[in-house]
Amino acid sequence: MADTYNPDRTDNITFSRNTDRTESEKKAENSDLKNERNKFKSEKNQKQEPAKKILVIGSSCVDIIIRVPHLPSTAEDIHPTGHSMALGGCAFNAASMIRLFSAPVTLLTPVGCGFYGEYAARELEKRGFPVPVHVPDKENGCCYCLVEPGGERTFLSCHGAEYLFDRAWLKDFPADSYDMAYVCGLEIEEPTGEELIACLEEHPRWELFYAPGPRGIFIERSRTERIFALHPVLHVNEDEATALSGADNVKDAAARLSARTENTVIVTLGSRGVYCHEKGGGTYTVPAATSDLPIVDTIGAGDAHIGAVMASLSLGFPLREALRQANIASSAVIRTAGASLTEEEFERMVTPSLSLT
């Protein structure tokens, strides 16, 4: 029987604007929080095994975020209410969250040429991710993110070098030292997806986390079966779970997918939290974090969630607690513009609610 996760401390975390504080007070508070978190990490590392090393494979692309009053219909002219550009991509978003949790992470992401390639390279360097793979003969693409007033997003993706993969890129990395690996369905769907699957098959010791995404149903069945044969932890939203499984409800969908992967299935439910069907058959729901801040956009929410899950597990937290912390992290992401948090936003909106005992 499914149950609801109710730890001793509340899941209903509230993010406050705190507009009465001065900037100096905010900085002092953030510094104190960061020191508390670092102290916790130091004490935790003395008690437990070293954190598991995570390899994130996939795209870092440029998001062109366009805020629209509604999605346009054929031949309609509309006036966007704003636009901006930011670094995104499923792999980068997940790796960025893992890094904010201070878990050991390597981002294996190709960067091509052209305007978007140059932008991606600059932003990766700024975020502490040196560009690991240059693809000088192919341009980077971009993703047009149409954001409606309620925060929901629709993607129009122009794929480029950022979605490619070559096993030779791993030669400069200590592949055997990684404990966990992340891949996204977008890379599996690409022409080089076969190459990526073969790489994963060559490293069976990696604990694989797979996010097929909304295009998971369009991936060749043979590729999906090969991925599932690697027994990944599956991370999907409610629509993806029912589409991939053929079930008409979350519980049955998760059960069917777990039977195919022989591993845990995590289904995000938006404002209702997350449903988990564990490898051993146990099921439960972890409530969402709440906030008095408005939703800005939902770009990168799922990426942040799986990144936080992997980081928390890497640091030694049990799965239920990892899901609680991931709910907090993804809730913060949708209340800021773009797909990832800055260090200051993470320290202010996420750190206070993390497990410190």
Residue 214: pLDDT band with limits 50, 70, 90: very high
Q: How many CA atoms lie within 13 A of 347 on its CB side?
A: 16
List CB contacts of 308: < 8 A, sequence separation 6 or more: 97, 98, 101, 322, 325, 326, 328, 329, 330
* 89-120 tens-digit pLDDT: 999 999 999 999 999 999 999 999 999 999 99
Please give the pLDDT value at position 11: 38
Please give the pLDDT value at position 172: 87
Taking the CA atoms of 319, 325, 331 and 336 in sequence, report the sign of the dihedral they define. negative
Please give the pLDDT value at position 290: 85
Look at residue 286 and tell me whether its pLDDT is greater than 80. Answer: yes
Helix axes 301-314, 90-100, angle to 10 degrees: 40
* 158-167 tens-digit pLDDT: 999 999 999 9
Look at residue 343 and tell me whether its pLDDT is greater than 80. Answer: yes
Which region holds residue 323: left if phi is over 0, alpha if psi is between -120 and 50, else beta? alpha
Which amino acid belongs to residue 127?
R
The full set of domains in the chain, from first to last, is 3-15+29-353 (3.40.1190.20)
Please give the pLDDT value at position 15: 40
Residue keyed to tokens 């907090």? 328
What is the DSSP annotation of 212-264? --TTGGGS-HHHHHHHHTT-PEEEEEHHHHHHHH--SSHHHHHHHHHHHHTS-
The average pLDDT across 40-66 equals: 81
Please give the pLDDT value at position 216: 95
Please give the pLDDT value at position 292: 87
Least confident of 14-28, 140-154, 224-238, 324-338: 14-28
Look at residue 6 and tell me whether its pLDDT is greater than 60. Answer: no
Please give the pLDDT value at position 140: 96
* 259-280 tens-digit pLDDT: 999 999 999 999 999 999 999 9
